[in-house]
Amino acid sequence: EQLFGKLRRGGIVKSVRGPGGGYLLSRSANDLRISDVILAVDEPIKATRCMPGSPAGCQQNQGRCLTHDLWTELGNQIYLYLNSVSIADVCEQRILGSSGLDIGESGFAGHPIESVAAAQ
């Protein structure tokens, strides 16, 4: 119920009262993005544990860690991807293959990226 409260306040769902009541999407599934859902439940979309704006910086010495920009940009790319995927895309299974890569269930383990790309 707490989760649905956050989704309702975030404009993702609306409550329906009465017999058979519950929650419905507040907009079309084509208009609601996965990023909307994640942000509505107060989950940050970031790949770094660095605290933005922290006076101590990543390394507690006013400096940023060596890979800070890498992980920050990865978080940006994750957001862009999740913002490009609608709830309808997930429900209609239109996700797999959208990257153009086919790495299978085992992922990249043991295979250089070049060999994965060349296999296509």
> HEC states along 36-79?
HHHHHCCCCCCCCCCCCCCCCCCCCCCCCCCCHHHHHHHHHHHH
Interval 17-39: pLDDT, tens: 999 889 999 999 999 999 999 99
pLDDT at 105 over 80: no
Dihedral of alpha carbons 81, 82, 84, 88, sign = positive
Look up the pTM and report it.
0.70
Whole-angstrom Cα distance, residue 35 to residue 77?
Answer: 12
- The pLDDT, as a whole number, for residue 33 is 97
Interval 58-93: pLDDT, tens: 766 667 777 888 888 998 999 999 999 999 999 999
Choice between 93 and 52, residue whose per-residue pLDDT is larger: 93
Task: Name the token pair of 96.
Answer: 């797999």
pLDDT at 2 over 60: yes
Q: Are strands 13-16 and 22-25 parallel, antiparallel or unpaired?
A: antiparallel
pLDDT at 95 over 70: yes
Half-sphere exposure of 46 (CA within 13 A, CB side): 11
Choice between 114 and 12, residue whose per-residue pLDDT is larger: 12
- The pLDDT, as a whole number, for residue 66 is 79
- The pLDDT, as a whole number, for residue 69 is 84
Interval 38-49: pLDDT, tens: 999 977 777 777
